[in-house]
Structure 1
């Protein structure tokens, strides 16, 4: 049993007010998140441009998206395991570097085959970064506002996607070789990785879990000093392994094999299954819809400028969706907020798929952005809370990896669904997946206001 007279690193962090150090962690991670979103958003516009420039058919175009998502599936699964083994910050920086360099190299390709290889490498870095970043920030955020902080982190996705839409609207159709310049801009994360690596602290919870108690204490004291709060713990030193083990709860898992088996142990089986279901369904609907919206509009007779313009307007509704979800998640809780936004996404998808006039296309598309991205914020908030510290990166990464399988399948499913039933059938299918995710959300554990599991 932990001695209540000597608060753990986690309790000390939970008792702090949100301060400048928290803001640095949030914005430092959030900017990396926004750059990730910019890359994913750009490819939807690049695909549309390449269909016109390289005379690609829809199947070839869908492979460009799916190659990236295949990399994301591998990256998410491996990245989580590495984050639990080597730390959150270092893996976060390495993943940014991988996908930034690969994105820049993509600007130089002259054919489809090389582009597919590079998109896989881009996905490898991107897939690992997202669950690692949400795990990292959640381990610093005070318990009473942890969900809200993670939704705000996810809101940086809207900033990056809006940047992609602006580049898609102003650069790709108006500059010679515009899609290449767009990918050059997407290489910025390679530079930013250096800032992340040296500018942010390692997770204090992870350091304590590794027995590196003096380093964990130093990180927490820097947060306490920043907030003006006197430390509630005496100075510590790295303990002998036996002493360290006695001073903290036993880990839920130690080795890589233990971590993977623990995901399906009696304690975590239901939440893992429901979490994977939600991730799978949300990924299928989101990437199936948003990767293809510019191309679907283009195929309906709108030129590149107008289809990209519509997409830009639709994208702007993402930020209000995040803002509302960030407020509700600490009022309603995780499960209720997630399920309501998913049901809203399902309704908006049906309307968008049957829309025939420009006002309805834009309004229903904005509703889809609002509800879907609010749901994403809630999902990223709840995911790290499902598992203890020794298992958190692995659990979040493998849930994201399960979702990325759907993101591989979704772009490939769009052309045949369009051929069979057009946009109405396609978006009804997306609505069904959103509804399935809403049901799965109720199998998750709601830890609103509760401490993270420190095992």
Structure 2
């Protein structure tokens, strides 16, 4: 860098076909994750009796993909800051496709556990890398909507698995094999479509590969598109350690804890939704399940509007509060009043679906370009610790303490999320991700250079 800021303006570029394409390609992880979570819950109802699974094994298999997500998002998110987003973006779905096919042939719960760990590992990497890549390409005006729409697709994947599982279940006792292998179909389609995806210009710029970034911006965003190139100190701290510097640790902690507190009850409840509905006394599980799935879809769609209407901070705090109250009501009424419990469940489902849009928007906005992949990977990993623990423990907890006590435990988690959000949630809605990585603009940024000769000149917004 020679002290003069060069720019390719990209944050305010008009939405074009490429932005829509990169969004569509990023949908793959979200659809596959929703589908994988939903289909294992249905498959376990057939698989458990055949393999004589204990609650421990049910918890392990139900949470296996989430454990893999933890490791994959942490490892591959950090790796993407070193070798780039594009390579990992493509390789993830090669792994998912192969492992999904191999599930058809298993006869041992330990092997199924390992295959789903592998699927989760690749999905975790894709959560970190996919949302990072999309955030770095998306114009500021549309970023929240495009990232939030990924959650709609997650929900579509989850609902699709319910429908597929319902119809495959009628094909015989081995139908769980077809349920599990069916996840290979969307994975293979995504793999083919991702061939040729370009590298993130923001990442290339952070590595000093300016000409490559210019060419990609010119080809995919437009000849007049620009992006700020920050002046970075020679003492720049990047990598995993940078997430815990004095100026960044609070954002890292908030990102991981808010994410974990939200997805722990979400993944646990909806992985074992058929079992929960049965415990609540619903004899027609499929109809009740489908009804709640409908509110999942409505909630995620409504969440797109809420994301644009409200601030990130306000939306986070208020949804956590509503979720805490509704799950508490469900916890204490699930046996005494089926109607009141179902109303509380509907409210919980709708608000949880809407709020889950935040998990695909907030993390990418918390970190600068130089550590965004590492940051998103880290907070995703933290969240998956929570979701894996919740999913592993729920069948054991229900078997030992009952549904009401298990739900109260998850209510406490949501209350903690409310408190954390009130204390630490930052406002990032109008943030330019390019400017966020510019030390000249943000004194709270870990790469800020005090006394930079360009500081007084400012940067055009």
Normalization by structure 1: what TM-score? 0.87
Pair 1:24–1:426, CA change in 2 (3 A): same
Counterpart in the other structure of 1:240: none
Greater displacement, 71-80 / 96-105: 96-105
What CA distance in whole angstroms lies between the structure 2 residues aligned with 1:232 and 1:169? 48
Shift of 1:396: 0.7
How many residue pairs get matched?
432
Q: 1:344 aligns with which of 322, 341, 353?
A: 322
Q: Counterpart in 2 of 1:117? A: 114
Shift of 1:406: 1.4
Is the 8 Å Cα contact of residues 254 and 390 (structure 1) preserved in structure 2?
no
Cα distance in 1 between the residues matched to 2:181 and 2:42: 14
Q: Which residue of 2 aligns with 1:403?
A: 383
1:61 is the counterpart of 2:39: no
Aligned match of 1:134: 131
Shift of 1:420: 4.8
- Partner of 2:290: helix, strand, or coil? helix
**Contact 1:205/1:454 (<8 A) preserved:** no
Mapped to 1, the partners of 2:367 and 2:315 lie a distance apart of: 20
Q: Displacement of 1:157 after TM fit?
A: 0.4
The CA distance in 1 between the partners of 2:326 and 2:4, in whole Å, is 51
Q: What SS class does the counterpart of residue 330 from structure 1 fall into?
A: helix
The residue that corresponds to 1:327 in the other structure is 305
Which residue, 221, 239, 258 being the options, matches 1:259? 239
Instruction: Give the Å deviation of 1:368.
Output: 2.2
CA distance in 2, matches of 1:2, 1:381: 33
Task: Give the secondary structure class of the aligned counterpart of 1:188.
Answer: helix
Find 2:367's aligned residue among 387, 394, 414: 387
1:293 aligns with 2:286: no
CA gap of 1:177–1:252, structure 2 versus 1, over 3 A, is farther
SS of the aligned residue for 2:402 comes to helix
Checking the alignment, whether the CA contact within 8 Å between 2:69 and 2:123 is kept in structure 1 is yes
Q: Please name the residue that 2:408 is paired with.
A: 428
* Aligned equivalent of 1:438, options 387, 412, 418: 418
- Provide the C-alpha distance between the structure 1 equivalents of 2:52 and 2:274, rounded to a whole number of angstroms: 16
Structure 1: distance between partners of 2:111 and 2:225: 56
Q: Is the contact between residue 386 and residue 444 of structure 1 (CA under 8 Å) also seen in structure 2? A: no
Does 2:426 match 1:448? no
Measure, in 1, the Cα distance between the counterparts of 2:221 and 2:262.
Answer: 38
Do the aligned partners of residues 13 and 204 (structure 1) sit closer, same or farther apart at CA in structure 2, a change above 3 Å counting? same
Partner of 1:313: 291
Between the aligned partners of 2:367 and 2:229, the Cα distance in structure 1 is: 20
Residue number in structure 2 paired with 1:166 = 163
Correspondence list, 1:35-74, <5 A:
35-74=32-71
Partner residue in 2 for 1:177 = 174
Matched, 1:249 2:242: no
Q: Distance in 1 between matches of 2:34 and 2:428?
A: 27
Aligned-pair distance for 1:188?
Answer: 2.0
Higher mean C-alpha displacement, 71-80 vs 48-57: 48-57
Partner SS for 2:255: helix
Compared CA separation, residues 173 and 439, structure 1 to 2 (3 A): farther
Shift of 1:324: 2.5
TM-score (norm 2): 0.86
CA–CA separation in structure 2 for the residues paired with 1:93 and 1:368:
36
| Structure 2 CA distance for partners of 1:267 and 1:212, relative to 1, 3 Å | same
* Superposition deviation, residue 161 in structure 1: 0.6
CA distance in 1, matches of 2:93, 2:233: 29
Shift of 1:360: 4.5
Give 1:280 deviation, angstroms. Answer: 2.2
- What residue ranges of structure 2 are gaps of 5+ in the alignment? 439-461
* 1:447 counterpart SS class: coil
Q: Distance in 1 between matches of 2:74 and 2:57?
A: 26
Structure 1 partner of 2:7: 7
Instruction: Return the offset for 1:176.
Output: 4.4
Q: How far did residue 3 of structure 1 move?
A: 5.0
Shift of 1:401: 0.7
| Separation (CA, whole Å) in 2 of partners of 1:95 and 1:123 | 10
